[in-house]
Amino acid sequence: MASLPTSQPHAVLFPFMSKGHVIPILHLARLLLRRNLSVTVVTTPSNLPFISASLADTPATFSTIPFPSNDDKIHVESAEQLPSIAAATRLMKPAFDRLLASLPRVDFLVSDGFLPWTYDSAAALNIKRIVTYGMCAYAGALQRDFLPLLLDKKLGATDELIRTPSFPWVKLCYNDFDEPWNRRVVDGPLNDFIMEVVAASSKSFGIIFNSFYELEPAFVDYWAEKCAPRPFCVGPLCLAEPVKAQVEKREWIEWLDVNGPEAGPVLYIAFGSQAALSASQLQELAEGLESSGVRFLWVLKSGDLDKIGTWDAGFAERVKGRGMVVADWVNQREILSHEAVKGFLSHCGWNSVVESLCAGVPILAWPVMAEQHLNARMVAEELRVGVRVETCDGTVRGFVKAEGVSRSVKRLFGEKEVARRVAEVKEMAEAAVAEGGSSWRALTELIDEACGKV
């Protein structure tokens, strides 16, 4: 680790070892560096190459601490995995304590919420801890507000919609929540881990939402009045880094160039690095894309390719010219920013939602796990910047048939009001992060207060 200038305020950033959690914290690092702070990012050896490459054009410094396993590339495909992963990360605490104590000056720590033990590490040295989950205030506020109803065994069926107490225009059901809240009896290791996370968060100095106030004012205000710790909306964080075109154009960008707006709108399809669909669901998705007649760019995980296997050898030939399937890492923001892309079929991970909004691209919401079902409601019902995918039984977690895919895609492309609204949100986001905007001011407040300037 390079030496740190002692005259500058110094922030230590410690993301959870998963790409969806790492990326927004790296964007935050850029914002802090622009405000004349020194930044140290703490990670594990296997994650260091990605993190250091992402911030290679900045003066950020990096420190590594060992992960208690040979594999520190964490992939959370089920909430049930979190307790065991959390137990493993806790074994990093002694090394993190030594690192924190060895640094010449630390004004505050930004820690992922899935690392609750970092609160004790920071508190022992009188360092302020700021927590982040990379999520929005809408999901956080609804989880807190709906919790008493989830714990009430008198609630109806799992898909029965119930008005939330503080937001009567929002209706939710059991299946809008992931483990353990969608059970009739909430207990076990996962519940214990969540309670630990909530307790550490509530004692922290603040919480960062990757959002901006104008996007969700009622939910930010609710959090500020009824929850802890204090919220700071400093996003969209992705706007801290300009969209970078690759030095050498990748084949899918060349394909988009050829299939520009004059050839018809292109639907981008991606479910992120964690969310997974079954082999049968992937097959229905493929058949639906084929029958829809729309142009599409479909990014698959390698695991999805394994599940599909040989699936339909004639698919690629039949959609040739209007469809492309990619099994590789892609620059999602570069794709979303391409003029040919007019829709995003997304799992509604919050990073993907924010990137789509900032690119002005409407969303076809197909949530899978975590808080994605809440994000999907926000997209379709609260913000009206997208539509929900059509399930065969009308439930939020129902199976999606090929005809449902086809109808949903055509509906997305036909919704002029959705396109108008997402363009409006894009402008709001850009204004929020500009100098003097709400997110710019919130970051100023966070830095001044965390560094003891006020």
| For residue 15, pLDDT beyond 90 | yes
Q: Count of residues for the chain? A: 454
What DSSP line would sit under 154-167, residue for residue? T---TT--EE-SS-
Asked if residue 181 lies in contact with residue 147, where contact means CB atoms within 8 angstroms, the answer is yes
Q: Are residues 274 and 200 in the same domain?
A: no
CATH assignment at residue 356: 3.40.50.2000
Whether 4 is covered by a domain: the verdict is no
Query: In terms of pLDDT, which residue wins out, 417 or 80?
Result: 417
Q: Are residues 109 and 122 in the same domain?
A: yes
Q: Are residues 127 and 146 in the same domain?
A: no
Query: In terms of pLDDT, which residue wins out, 274 or 350?
Result: 350
Q: What is the pLDDT of residue 156?
A: 61
- Joined together, the tokens standing for residue 11 give 């922030």
Whether 285 is covered by a domain: the verdict is yes
| For residue 199, pLDDT beyond 50 | yes
Domain boundary among 176, 203, 230: 176
Strands of 386-388's sheet in order across: 323-326, 295-299, 266-270, 341-346, 363-365, 386-388
Q: What is the pLDDT of residue 272?
A: 81
Average pLDDT over residues 105-134: 96
Q: Where in the sequence is the domain holding 64, given as residue range(s)?
A: 10-137+184-241+434-451
The DSSP letter of residue 390 is: P
| For residue 21, pLDDT beyond 60 | yes
Q: Are residues 337 and 205 in the same domain?
A: no
Domain boundary among 151, 176, 201: 176
Q: Are residues 271 and 152 in the same domain?
A: no
Q: Are residues 66 and 200 in the same domain?
A: yes
179-198 pLDDT, tens digit each: 766 665 666 777 788 889 99
Q: Are residues 378 and 415 in the same domain?
A: yes
Q: What is the pLDDT of residue 423?
A: 97
Q: What is the pLDDT of residue 76?
A: 47
Count of structural domains within the chain: 3
Q: Are residues 259 and 393 in the same domain?
A: yes
* CA distance linking residue 390 with residue 151, whole number of Å: 29
Work out the angle between the directed axes of helices 137-150 and 217-226 (0-180°, nearest 10): 60
Query: In terms of pLDDT, which residue wins out, 242 or 356?
Result: 356
The chain-wide mean pLDDT, for the chain, equals 88
**Residue 136: closest CA among 390, 439, 371, 448:** 371
24-69 pLDDT, tens digit each: 999 999 999 999 999 999 999 888 999 999 999 999 999 999 887 6
CA distances from 123 to 15, 56, 430 (A): 18, 31, 36
Quick one: what percent of the chain has pLDDT higher than 90?
A: 64
Whether 5 is covered by a domain: the verdict is no
Whether 62 is covered by a domain: the verdict is yes
Q: Are residues 229 and 143 in the same domain?
A: no
Query: In terms of pLDDT, which residue wins out, 101 or 179?
Result: 101
The DSSP letter of residue 338 is: S
Q: Are residues 300 and 195 in the same domain?
A: no
Q: What is the pLDDT of residue 301?
A: 79
Whether 255 is covered by a domain: the verdict is yes
Whether 365 is covered by a domain: the verdict is yes
Asked if residue 377 lies in contact with residue 371, where contact means CB atoms within 8 angstroms, the answer is no
Residue 322 sits at the vertex; the CA angle it makes with 321 and 328, to the nearest 5 degrees, is: 90
Q: Are residues 263 and 216 in the same domain?
A: no
Whether 268 is covered by a domain: the verdict is yes
Domain boundary among 154, 176, 198: 176
* CA distance linking residue 282 with residue 277, whole number of Å: 6
Q: Are residues 130 and 111 in the same domain?
A: yes
- Joined together, the tokens standing for residue 414 give 């036909």
| For residue 227, pLDDT beyond 80 | yes
Q: What is the pLDDT of residue 305?
A: 65
Average pLDDT over residues 421-449: 97
**How does residue 77 score in pLDDT terms, banded at 50, 70 and 90?**
very low
Q: What is the pLDDT of residue 244?
A: 73
Whether 408 is covered by a domain: the verdict is yes
282-341 pLDDT, tens digit each: 989 999 999 998 999 999 877 676 665 545 667 777 888 889 988 888 899 999 999 999
H or E stretch at 13: strand 10-14
Residue 68's SS3 state is coil
